[in-house]
Amino acid sequence: MNDRGIVAVVGAGTMGRGIAQVAATAGFTVLLYDARPEAVTAALERIEASLQRARERGRLAQAPEEVLGRIRPVADLAGLASAGWVIEAVPEELELKRRLLAELGAENPRAVLASNTSTLSITALARGVPGPERVLGLHFFNPAPRMPLVEVIPGVETHPEVLGRAVAFVRELGKEPVVAKDRPGFIVNRIARPYYGEALVLAGDGVPFATIDRILRGLGFPMGPFELMDLIGLDVNFAATKSVWEQSFYLSRYRPHPLQAERVAAGWLGQKTGRGFYAYPREPEPEPELPEPHPLAVHLVGGGPLAGILASRLAPTAPEEADLIVDLRVSLGEKAYPEGVPPGRPVLTLAWAHSASLARPRYPEARGVYGFSLVPPYAAGQPMELLAPEGEEVPPWLAGFARALGFTPVVLPDQPGGVAFRILAMLANEAFSALREGLAEAETLDRAMELGTRYPRGPLAWAELFGLPALVAGLRGLKDELGEERYRPDPLLVRRAAVGE
């Protein structure tokens, strides 16, 4: 492979060594600098091991030594003057990065200066750099050699020609560029906030970490939020959360949670310290015991895609013969015991917009009112969350009924929405707010989320599966019952739902 040019990487930690490996693999000469020379030595060892692994697994066409031979340790910033591209990956501190970029700009008057920042403002970082028009964000994901996405972020002064060259450069690195606006967290780290934040709120309200993780994994997420935070590092995740929150002038939906702060204070930073939300090595979880399937004659109330799915798995029953009423209407105000069903039947009501406790008084004729939450795509085996009003318990026959429908019952403490609905609705809502603010086009936002996070589908595509009006009704109910501004449905989501898009 021909030499394609010179890339300087500053900071040889987790991200810097990954970026160096990516650039050298793509044929660039790489100058690697770190304030601690031993970090460069350690990085070269880890890159070598990583290249060897890639080679063994058939992911690397070149000899590892050939790639490694393109990486040159450099002892000071002056040694980077020949580079056409400089990428900094030093710790996520505004002043540190700003000072470093200014120094790099002075040493090298020509190079494009890129920051791998996860959340900091590119415009703020460019301030004081000689030639701020050549500063931009190139946000790689961890592990850089494996993750296909790079967010490319222009600041207000970035020259359009520099942006265009950067997009082409990312493609030369073998990555997929997505141009994002310079807003806190850009696309991926912003839209992903609720995956952690809402999970933390649920955990703070008494839902066990392992239950939340199991539900999200049951939907096809590669990792649940707590095991993922343990992998990322609680300190790193907490810093990203705080940074987005502070830069958005303390919007409540980005607020960090005491459960994070407490662990960070204790030094429980996740896998790397042997303890985070879980202790490591992690004990294998006992598989929850599942009850026998318990089919029931059901009278379904309400429509939507879920009605079709449930009807296909149930023998439809005349109202007077029903053992159970299943109410699929979303808003609390619409809920009522259906006409034609004799009084005294139990009710299982969709709880996206409220808890089981709030639903209870809507059905005075019922003998027992329970809540359930299921989310699209409603695939067989997915978790079906079950709730009972305060002071009551979910009866075993109800868990058996969930199994008869082909779902996996999970009993939760009573709260509105359930785990999956709350997290997915908040991800979708955040994606609509990013869309409204013009961070990128809809397809780009979803693509960035799939590539940058490995979510099973993009949040906007997921919103369509819910149906936008149902999502709005659910979020409004959460806002009413929980009394928190964070659940306000985004105005763009509300408008699109109103016009039936």
- With H, G, I as helix, E, B as strand and everything else as coil, classify residue 386: strand
- Cα–Cα dist 278/226, whole Å: 8
Q: Which residues are CB-neighbours of 499 under 8 A, at least 6 positions away?
A: none
Give the residue with the Cβ less far from ligand NAD, 100 or 473: 100
The neighbour count for residue 306, using CB atoms within 10 Å, is: 20
Give the residue with the Cβ less far from ligand NAD, 233 or 474: 233
CB of 369 to ligand NAD, least distance (A): 45
> Which residue has the closest beta carbon to ligand NAD?
13
CA distances from 98 to 12, 31, 128 (A): 18, 20, 8
Rg of the chain in Å (alpha carbons): 26
CB of 180 to ligand NAD, least distance (A): 14
Give the residue with the Cβ less far from ligand NAD, 92 or 464: 92
Give the residue with the Cβ less far from ligand NAD, 35 or 494: 35
- Residues in contact with ligand NAD by CB under 6 A are 10-16, 34-36, 39, 89-92, 100, 116-118, 140-142, 232, 236
CB of 244 to ligand NAD, least distance (A): 12
CB of 9 to ligand NAD, least distance (A): 10
230-253 b/e with 16+ CB inside 10 Å = b? bebbbbbbbbbbbbbbebbeeeeb
The neighbour count for residue 103, using CB atoms within 10 Å, is: 16
139 counts as catalytic: yes
The answer to whether 120 and 97 have CB atoms below 8 angstroms apart is: yes
Give the residue with the Cβ less far from ligand NAD, 89 or 347: 89
Q: Which residues are CB-neighbours of 493 under 8 A, at least 6 positions away?
A: 428, 429, 432, 463, 468, 471, 472, 475
CB of 281 to ligand NAD, least distance (A): 22
CB of 188 to ligand NAD, least distance (A): 9
CB of 35 to ligand NAD, least distance (A): 4
The answer to whether 60 and 67 have CB atoms below 8 angstroms apart is: yes
3-state per-residue secondary structure call for 259-298: HHHHHHHHCCCEHHHCECCCECCCCCCCCCCCCCCCCCCE
**Two structure tokens written together for 268:** 């429980």
**Two structure tokens written together for 155:** 């600041």
The answer to whether 408 and 218 have CB atoms below 8 angstroms apart is: yes
CB of 15 to ligand NAD, least distance (A): 3
Q: Which residues are CB-neighbours of 303 under 8 A, at least 6 positions away?
A: 328
What is the number of residues in the chain?
Answer: 501
139, 257, 299, 354: which one is catalytic?
139
- Cα–Cα dist 338/312, whole Å: 21
Give the residue with the Cβ less far from ligand NAD, 5 or 13: 13
CA distances from 482 to 108, 150, 211, 385 (A): 54, 37, 21, 19
Q: Which residues are CB-neighbours of 9 under 8 A, at least 6 positions away?
A: 16, 19, 20, 23, 30, 31, 32, 33, 87, 89
Give the residue with the Cβ less far from ligand NAD, 91 or 204: 91
Give the residue with the Cβ less far from ligand NAD, 218 or 452: 452
Give the residue with the Cβ less far from ligand NAD, 166 or 300: 166
CB of 29 to ligand NAD, least distance (A): 19
Q: Which residues are catalytic?
A: 139
